[in-house]
Amino acid sequence: DAQKVRLDYWKKFPLWGKNEGEVTANLSAALAEHGQDFRWLFDRLGDEQSRRVLTAVVRNWRYYEMEPLERVADNENDDYFDRALLHCDENEVVADLGAYVGDTFLSYVKNYGSMAYRRYYCYEITKESFDVLRRVTAAYPRVVLRRKGAGAAPGVMKMETGADASAHGLAENTGAAGADTVDIVPLDQDITEPLTLIKMDIEGMEQAALQGCAGHIRQERPKLALSVYHNFEDIWKLPRMIDEMAPEYRFYLRYHGGDAWPSEITLLALPPEQNNKEG
């Protein structure tokens, strides 16, 4: 039944809590303590579809209702790339954080064309995914691959493979024999040229990565396409952080599915010049 599907999902992906009790406690705290933050976001959202998405997500958290989410699902656009909102051309310099196996890159090319970027940076930490990413992007020019993670400050992450090969944790003993480690870098230090688009899907590390690219956001006002479903906070916290860096951004939410739980929720944060293109 639906409850068992949710329990199995939480067990496989313990991002919201390690068990049902912890998920419930975290969810209750999110709704009880951050009502003003949710209201702030509701008032700042740029269109009615975004407000419907936020309402449906909160209703799901509160009542476990899936029907409102199904009604607001975007079945016409790919994740991140609502072309009515997000306009890209040959001048784009893209940072794709959590590039996985190149699925977002291929989606970008499908939506905007293989000439619609000046440079495309791909960051991916998992070796198996990085190997596929290298093969997928090999035929395309101006793609820069970096097996690194994005964070608020320089560091090292130790990869811990288990039942879910995508699992990972911070390194405590990076000198351990056979340890598979990757560097964690702030984007402000790792990419020196101006950025026009930053995408993030990095399993709950989005807040740290956003701190690490605050310089790019303040100085260059890139378009932002961020996953905001990995916890009960990012959906309002990431817009708050962006607003503190550059208060003129406009925010949009899009929902792309999830049978057991509202996953694939994307925040599009667009600078003023991008907003003006909406007509």
Please check the confidence at residue 165 and state whether its pLDDT lies above 50: no
Cα pseudo-dihedral 59, 61, 65, 68, rounded to 10: 40
DSSP track, 133-196: HHHHHTTSTTEEEE-EEE-SS-EEEE---SSSTT--EE-S-TTSTT--EEEEE-HHHH--S--S
What's the rounded mean pLDDT across residues 10-15? Answer: 70
pLDDT in tens, 14-56: 667 777 777 788 888 888 899 999 999 999 999 999 999 999 9
What would the pLDDT profile of 75-130 be if each residue is shown by its tens digit? 999 999 999 999 999 999 999 999 999 999 999 999 999 999 999 999 999 999 99
- Per the model's pLDDT, the better-predicted residue between 209 and 259 turns out to be 209
Tell the residue number behind the tokens 């599009």, with chain if given: 268
pLDDT at position 249 over 80: yes
Contact 12, 164 (CB under 8 A): yes
Structure pTM?
A: 0.89
Among the listed residues 243, 183, 191, the one whose alpha carbon sits nearest the alpha carbon of residue 213: 191
Whether the Cβ atoms of residue 254 and residue 274 lie closer than 8 Å to each other: no
Cβ–Cβ < 8 Å for 216, 242: no
Mean pLDDT confidence for 165-181: 50
C-alpha distance from residue 213 to each of 61, 119, 207, 274 (Å): 30, 17, 10, 19
